[in-house]
Amino acid sequence: MYTQRTARALRQHVDLIVLAVTLGTVYVVWRWFIIQNNGVPTAQLNGYFGIGILISFLIYSMVYGLSSANVRAEKIASDMTVDLQKYKVAVENTSGHIVIVDKNGIVVYMNGAAERLTGFSKEESIGKNLMQWMEHLTENEYVEMFKSIVTKKDVFRVEMVNKKKSGDIYTAQISISPIFNEETEEIVGFVEIENDITEIKNMDKLLTDKNTELERVNKLMVGREIKMADLKAQITELENKLH
């Protein structure tokens, strides 16, 4: 992993290399001018020597600049790698089913939660069509769903009954988001997120059934109370006639 300590060590090595190149260049330039200008007045040699120093300084600046740029580029690349690793760990460990498909609907990535939910392994799914666990959709419905996403360029949300590898049925709350190329703004793929809401739907159905039953009992009780009141009124009327 790229750390500040590594950066300092790398910078020290770079500085030593740059210093060696600079000193070597100064010496070579100075010796060359002495050889080429044997007998030239000292003042003139000093001028040549100054030019040599200037050239060496320019070389130093270029090499140092390139070295610094290389260090910065390596740090940026390292930081990006660390960030990607963090995102990967987060995606792999989330409880939500996450699948990434290309623009043709072919699976290119799925996380562990998707494997557990669908029963399909990554090896079985990558390279296959997302429709493999959307069996309740016809091919036309599947195509129209993605056409809608491409046209609106927005998140598509739907509740759908899907089928696991085992054959078990589950109800999923699904959202599919387009992935854009930052430069061309073209859609290059899609992210599909699923949440298993089977238990929630079952509880909703149970609650609806209980409410229906309660309404039926209430109606029976109300009808019974009315009948009891009518019967009581008839008894009272007969008692009055007898007396």
Please indicate, yes or no, whether the overall pTM of this predicted structure exceeds 0.75: no
pLDDT band of 1, cuts 50, 70, 90: very low
**pLDDT value at position 107?**
92
Per-residue pLDDT tens digits for 147-185: 888 888 888 888 888 888 898 989 989 999 898 887 888
As a whole number of angstroms, the distance between CA 106 and CA 44 comes to 75
What proportion of the chain, given as a percentage, has pLDDT over 90? 5
List of E strands, 164-223: 169-180, 187-196
pLDDT in tens, 123-146: 999 999 888 777 777 888 888 888
Looking at residue 24, its pLDDT comes to 57
Dihedral of the alpha carbons of 130, 135, 140, 146, in degrees to the nearest 10: -30
